Structure 1
Amino acid sequence: MSGTMKAIIKHTRGYGAKIETVPIPTIRDNEVLIKVHATSICGTDVHIYTWDEWSQSRVNPPYVFGHEFAGEIVKVGNKVTNLQVGDRVSAETHLVCYSCSQCLNGNYHICKNTKIIGVDTNGCFAEYVALPAVNIWKNPEEMPYDIASIQEPMGNAVHTVLSGDVAGKTVAVIGCGPIGIMAVSVAKACGASQVIALDINEYRLDLAKKMGATTIINSSEADPVQTVLSLTNGDGVDVVCEMSGHPVAMNQGFKMITNGGRFSILSLPTRPVELDITNDIVFKGIQVQGITGRRMFTTWQQVSSLLNSKQVDVKPLITHHFPLDEFEKGFDLMIAGKCGKVVLHP
């Protein structure tokens, strides 16, 4: 398919982005071309947009960014046999090598040579995106495009929560950005006895409550550690899902976890975090896990099942819709923390 399209370009090594007209991508024999119907803004996109230290060291403008989307296949490469024009799809955003030791052991999500769509390659903040067929996830015909577009970040939440057992356990989710809020809903759907959501943003704490939190704690107004201990008969929580990346919040998480608990970290602190490893990890005998991406494609199956069964309803989390041309409004809301998920429509 020839022609041009609108796309949001990270155009400079500085703050912001802009809409430009660029060529529609061409596809290789093993790729598909997708018409994007919905694309959602991720925290990673905000890092790139605001040009923080992480993005300065990682991305190389100018390029199309964005990595969460849903759309319809409009062209397939000559070697693609499992997909066809008209399929409604999303995509796993990790482009992996399939040959390193991690990949050969089935741990594709921690491939040593991973590239990320919209970070290391052109992404989906555009009318069309070209991707390898092996990365494509087929969506049910009845799934709305906006909901389908947030399966990738929901996969992060599912991977974090379900990297161990939560049924009948107490769970604290620290950091109620969109993925943290989805983690609240996943933990509740999967049988957690208590789901405690912690943040300092009242707007997002209210969303967490709507999404299933049994208790919300504003950490700027109450001592989070003492409050959690009082909610758990002094024992502390069985599972902590760390989504904030804030050094103070992370340390509080280690103080509120029970002996033998699980501490799963999805967040990306922007600087080194000082921890009391002796007292908060070793003597407590806890398991600390780093979580990256989604297990390919086990996590996608879990996400799809949770959505299709209606055990998790993400509609309340999608708070804003904008045309692609009005992307700046969406980024302003994300930066201010006055939204859930923001979906753009090319």
Structure 2
Amino acid sequence: MLRGQMKALMKHHRGAGGRLEEVDIPTLRENEVLVRVKATSICGTDVHIYKWDEWAQSRVHPPYIFGHEFAGEVVEVGQKVTNVQVGDKVSAETHLVCGACPPCLRGQYHICLRTKIIGVDTNGCFTEYVALPERNIWKNPKNMLYEVAAIQEPMGNAAHTVLSGEMTGKTVAVIGCGPIGLMAISIAQAAGASKVLAFDVNEYRLQLAKRMGATIVIHSIKEDPVKQAIKSTGGYGVDVICEMSGNPAAINQAFKMVTNGGRVSILSLPTRPVEIDVTNDIVFKGVIVQGITGRKMFSTWQQVSQLLQSGKVDMVPLLTHRFPLEKFEEAFVLMIQGNCGKVILIP
């Protein structure tokens, strides 16, 4: 049994920032797996926690280890673990679900009423070792890069958003080209979209959007997003909207540019209520509106893994920056500035 201490990035107090500390290596429960973290990536949620915004203040309870996107190698398994072995290369589903509430009993584990999230409600992966229940472990192909394997969890969010409805031959708008929006662009192309429009206000990320396969990129301040979307779809409007920005104005624009009978899938988390013209932009247009949370357990993981293995989706261009865990402050500054794709931390 592994004993000793490990370095860990702690959300050490109820305030901005984080602190690198030495903590005990986790002791395994009988149904858990201990993973040596090889690569971990920073999520927008981690930025909320690091900045200590209103959402973080209402949700997390320091001190604890944060971070939830990672890949690594299994170094120890509990007595009742049967399907995971020492040496397996793995990632993890980050939602800890009860398995007993009505959504879980319907097989909708991703909307479990008692969900806890690794690195938000429990200790996370910005560290050298992380212990997780066996049922949350996802085995990776031996030839998959750890850095790519580490971003399958957020890629699952993108896949869940894009693939929640018919995609073949559809025009698609991705609003918000943060890392998950950029992933959605590639997934939409791989799924057979006829055209993918990418919207953002950050020039760096619009250029990344081109690299990830966007047909048209639109700067949402320099151009009128709705007019450009209507023009780019022959005057009919966009078939599928993937809302990733969380910006109230952008969300309103999404409902203006969607075609009659189209779909608006919303993954973003607006920080305040959003006013929408429900009568004209939803009801009279017959629009399908979907809220997207997490990943379907585990069908979305299968889609993500197979897309990566097929070569139809390449996430390597999205991995723009790498830092040792000790340089976490530089990494978070870069994330806050937004001139990056996915930022990787190496413990």
Counterpart residue identity of residue 343, structure 1: I
Query: What's 2:202 paired with?
Result: 201
State the match for 1:136 in structure 2.
Answer: 137
What is the CA–CA distance in structure 2 between the aligned matches of 1:87 and 1:225, rounded to whole Å? 48
How high is the sequence identity, in percent, across the aligned residues?
Answer: 71
CA distance in 2, matches of 1:24, 1:56: 27
Residue 79 of structure 1 is matched in structure 2 by 80
Task: For 1:312, give the aligned amino acid.
Answer: V
Instruction: Give the secondary-structure state (helix, strand or coil) at the position aligned to 1:279.
Output: helix
**Matched ranges for 1:76-115 at <5 A:** 76-115=77-116
Alpha-carbon deviation of 1:226?
Answer: 0.2
- The CA deviation string for residues 99-123 of structure 1, in whole angstroms up to 9 with x for no partner, is 0010011000000000000000000
Matches within 5 A, 1:238-249: 238-249=239-250
Could you tell me which residue of structure 1 aligns to residue 191 of structure 2?
A: 190
Q: How far 1:290 sits from its partner (Å)?
A: 0.2
Measured in 1, the distance between the counterparts of 2:246 and 2:75 equals 39
For 2:241, the aligned partner's letter is V
Deviation at 1:157, TM superposition (A): 0.2
CA distance in 1, matches of 2:328, 2:38: 14
Aligned pair count reads 346
What is residue 306 of structure 1 aligned with on the other side? 307
Residue matched to 1:236: 237
- Distance in 2 (alpha carbons) for counterparts of 1:144 and 1:117: 22
Equivalents in 2 of 1:57, 1:269: separation in Å?
A: 15
Q: CA deviation at 1:11?
A: 0.7
Give CA-to-partner distance per residue, 1:242-275, whole Å, 9 cap, x none.
0000000000000000000000000000001011
TM-score by length of 2: 0.99
Partners of 1:81 and 1:231 lie apart in 2 by: 53
Report the residue type matching 1:220 in the other structure. I
Give distance in 1, aligned partners of 2:15 and 2:105: 39
Letter in 1 for 2:175: I
Q: Deviations over 1:137-161 (max 9, x none)?
A: 0000000100000000000000000
Rounded Cα–Cα distance in structure 2 between residues aligned with 1:331 and 1:36: 19
Query: Could you tell me the TM-score, scaled by structure 1's length?
Result: 1.00
**Aligned equivalent of 1:295:** 296
Query: The residue matched to 2:61 in structure 1 has which SS?
Result: coil
Deviation at 1:91, TM superposition (A): 0.1
CA distance in 2, matches of 1:121, 1:16: 18
Q: Secondary structure at the match of 1:158?
A: helix
The separation in 2 between residues aligned to 1:71 and 1:295, in whole angstroms, is 22
Q: How far apart, CA to CA, are the structure 1 residues paired with 2:84 and 2:189? A: 35
Q: Deviations over 1:256-307 (max 9, x none)?
A: 0000000000000000101111110001100000000000000000000000
Question: What is the distance in 2 between the residues matched to 1:261 and 1:215?
Answer: 19
> What's the CA shift string for 1:132-187, capped at 9, x where partnerless?
00000000000010000000000000000000011100000000000000000000
* In structure 2, distance between residues paired with 1:342 and 1:329: 10
Q: Secondary structure at the match of 1:39?
A: strand
Q: CA RMSD in A?
A: 0.4
- In structure 2, what is the Cα distance between the partners aligned to 1:181 and 1:330? 19
Secondary structure of residue in 1 paired with 2:300:
helix
- SS of the residue 1:179 aligns to: helix
